[in-house]
Amino acid sequence: MNIQSLCVTMAGLCACSTQAQDAAKGPPDGWGGLLLSNVTLQKSTENALRSRPSPFRADLVTDTGGRLQNFFALQYKRGDWTLHGAYADNRTLGGGSAYSLTNPMTFGVNTVETTGSRRKAVDDKSGLHELAASYRHNGTVLMVGKIDTSNWYLADPLFGGDLTHGNDYANAATRVVAPPFPSLALVVRQDLGNGLSLTGIAGDAFGDRETLQAARNLVRGDLAYVAELNYQNATQHFQLTLNHVDAFRHYDKDAVWPIAGEKAPKVDAVMATASHRFNPHWAGFARWSFAKGAGQLEDRNHLVGVRFDWGKFSALVSQSSTRVATDSTPYLRGAKGDRTAVSELTLNYKVHPQVTVGVTYDLYRSSGRALLAKDGGWNGARRNQIVGLRLTSMLPF
């Protein structure tokens, strides 16, 4: 993919704005923002591989994970235009085992930096997370700049656990494909009326979370694309998502694909989601995902779950199954065709309208001889149990 193709893609995404429908104008003019803070601690019964195999640091293999995340977002709105900025700080807790922005007991991101020919593990990263401008008019939202594109697709407002306070519905919900991270991107969202909306995203294949260097893959013609169709009303939500990531070389900051002179293989994925709220207390959810790519560790995921709300409490129960896509797994833990089942229970309690405490229990089981190394199969175990405790607060202003 080259820059000329990118221009054509952006023009195509913008074309959908010509069919704009009336929509809400969004928040009032002036300044606004939020401060989000999350502390998560996890302990498992088996050792897991926290990052790519690392000869320079043994503690990337661990049965303990912890992280502290602080996220400050600020925006200024005037008429149809809004300027967005965000700063993020992410740190390891408890012994320097390399923090993760995802489930601390699975593959993390931002755990490795490369400077020249030297690689090192890192325990903290801070910096500019987002800097963008958006235009909203008659049902059309157009956003360009450094964007956390994962906020613009695969959302599920009817279910989704406690997404506004940092807890997704299951560790395996988007397991077969990682969303494009903060990157230089264009987002177009169009309200089609009658509950339908269409979102298109084009941007760097894998952007930098902490600096403005968010286009190092894009300038080489390596991009990611998302097209998503949503239908939503007061009680149900249906979603179809198509995702493509070009082969790319650069991860966050100076981390690169570990094989010199090669790129991470391209990936194509499709995800279908359905959720329904049966009454004020019960909601149900299902997702099916499939990904195709030479570098895919897993290629198919099924997930079903329910949510129960009672006053300040909410409980989430889900069951997923994910298929291993290759025999070339890290340290040969797991084999092609094996299935990893994840049973998850999460209990949330709102101690304050802006503060949530959550406890999560996960049971990992492999149909093969061992779990993947990232799921706790480092020592050849077929089963792993993980207990997590988190405290999340969000202060809007």
When pLDDT is averaged across residues 33-49 and rounded to a whole number, the result is: 91
Residue 178 has pLDDT above 80, yes or no: no
> Quick check: 215 and 182 in contact, CB under 8 A?
no
Examine the pLDDT at 298 and tell me if it is beyond 80: yes
pLDDT at 355: 93
307: number of CA atoms within 13 Å, CB side? 24
Band of pLDDT at residue 73, cut at 50, 70 and 90: very high
CA atoms within 13 Å, Cβ hemisphere of 212: 4
Residues in the chain: 397
In the chain, beta strands by DSSP E: 30-49, 61-78, 81-92, 112-115, 118-121, 124-137, 140-147, 183-193, 196-204, 223-232, 236-245, 267-277, 282-292, 298-310, 313-324, 339-352, 355-366, 383-396
Higher pLDDT, 159 or 170: 159
* 89: nearest Cα among 41, 39, 51, 45: 39
pLDDT tens readout for residues 109-135: 656 776 666 767 778 888 999 999 999
State the CB neighbour count (10 A cutoff) for residue 192: 16
Residue written as tokens 């809007």?
Answer: 396
**Residue 155 to residue 142: CA distance in whole angstroms:** 18
137 or 17, which is more confident: 137
CA 38, distance to chain mean position in Å, is: 16
pLDDT value of residue 253: 67
CB atoms within 10 A of CB 245: 26
| pLDDT (0 to 100) of residue 366 | 97
Select from 205, 91, 185, 78 the least CA-distant residue to 131. Answer: 185
How many other CB atoms sit within 10 Å of the CB of residue 359?
13
| pLDDT per residue as tens digits for the range 346-375 | 999 999 999 999 999 999 999 999 999 989
pLDDT computed for residue 172 by the predictor:
67
What is the average per-residue pLDDT within 297-306? 93
pLDDT tens for each residue of 373-395: 989 999 999 999 999 999 999 99
Mean pLDDT of 70-80: 95
The pLDDT of residue 227 = 96
The runs of H, that is alpha helices, within the chain are 3-15
Average pLDDT, the chain: 84
Give 219-249 pLDDT, tens digit per residue. Answer: 889 999 999 999 999 999 999 999 999 999 8
pLDDT for residue 92 is more than 90: no
Query: What confidence tier does 195 reach under pLDDT thresholds 50, 70, 90?
Result: very high
- What value does the mean pLDDT take over residues 267-295? 94
